Amino acid sequence: MELNRLRWRCRRGMRELDIVLNRFLDEDYSTLTPVNQVAFASLLDTADPDLYAWVLGQHPAPTPEFRELVTRLQRHTAR
């Protein structure tokens, strides 16, 4: 998927998610395997409250692929 399209999809209704997702896109996305890049695009279909709860560690992500990505996203929360 084109990087600009992903950047657009990282724009969320929650500013906090915007920041985390865009930092991830800028700093880590290019290091993902093609399979994980597809999983990231799927992760962006998640509703904001669910995704935010996963990133905060309030609830586990439902799949191993999402859990791996959420762990990587969490590295971009505390700066």
Burial of 70: CB neighbours in 10 Å, binned 0-12, 13-18, 19+: buried
Which residue did the predictor score with more confidence, 2 or 57?
Answer: 57
**Is residue 2 very low, low, confident or very high in pLDDT (cuts 50, 70, 90)?**
confident
Predicted confidence (pLDDT) per residue in 9-66, tens digit: 999 989 999 999 999 999 999 999 999 999 999 999 999 999 999 999 999 999 999 9
**pTM of this structure:** 0.89
Q: Across the chain, what does the average pLDDT equal?
A: 93
Helix/strand/coil for 77: coil
DSSP codes of every residue in 37-67:
HHHHHHHTTS-HHHHHHHHHTSS--SSHHHH
Domain harbouring 26, CATH code: 1.10.150.250
Q: How many domains does the chain have?
A: 1
Structural domain of 54: 3-74
CA–CA distance, 61 with 43 (Å, rounded to integer): 10
On whether residue 63 sits in a domain, the answer given is yes
79 part of a folded domain:
no
